[in-house]
Structure 1
């Protein structure tokens, strides 16, 4: 099953690949690797903001991380000229969770992104990752995730 068909089967739609907000590019292709800039948590209603451990719980954080994963896939699709089936595997995610000083469940929050990628991509969605706390993130978003992906060239 194609990646696009799997997304549709799960009732998921990729957003348009977000444009960069400053003087950087949304992704860089180096050989067979695509390095995707950090994607902030947003959905069709706008930014998903808040702080884990204060006004957001783990479940809300997972939903925000899931949205970041969809934006990452949208950027990979753009890097592959619109053909997401050129994605070979997810290599690594770097995740930042807007958290209070005593919140320690960043890995559980980032599971929202990791679980989505495995659900959509199967074994090629399994990846290395980091999940770290941040006292704040751009525009007050809950989660930001960047990634490295291997593609067919």
Structure 2
């Protein structure tokens, strides 16, 4: 079975560099075999923030694309935590997705599917996870999506 790095190469995906914390926290904490990764905010390939409110500025499809970018950033943090060896990742345990949305917007699960679908495509069964997808009235820096994760690593 090919490793996670090989699968990402097959998909033509290069992980971004793991970003440094923007405030007084660490990007990840390992406790035993679990890795807790701090919330990763939506930003594009150039590092520009993906901002806006779902239900007003962005549609569900754009939100899902922003969530996929968060998932890429999560994997970048996992790789950094594993000293550059993403193949130490055993499975995605849980994601919590926060969607900057209007009070009447109800498609938060479809938005966070952008991250979930990508992780399953990239990692196979190891990418299947428990999840929450919740609305937020605002997110840091006005970003559209923020996702945190728990991962099992070797």
- TM-score normalized with structure 2 length: 0.97
Output the CA distance in 2 between the equivalents of 1:11 and 1:18.
21
Output the CA distance in 2 between the equivalents of 1:105 and 1:148.
23
Output the CA distance in 1 between the equivalents of 2:144 and 2:9.
26
| Deviation, structure 1 residue 10 | 1.1
| Deviation, structure 1 residue 44 | 2.1
Match of 2:122, SS state, is helix
How many residue pairs end up in the alignment?
A: 152
Structure 1 residues 38-117: aligned runs within 5 Å: 38-45=39-46, 46-117=48-119
Residue 35 of structure 1 corresponds to which residue in structure 2? 36
Q: Which runs of 5+ in 1 are unaligned?
A: none
The 4+ residue runs of structure 1 with deviation greater than 6 A are none
Q: Which runs of 5+ in 2 are unaligned?
A: none
The root-mean-square deviation of aligned C-alpha atoms, in Å, is 0.6
Match of 1:47, SS state, is coil
Output the CA distance in 1 between the equivalents of 2:86 and 2:128.
16
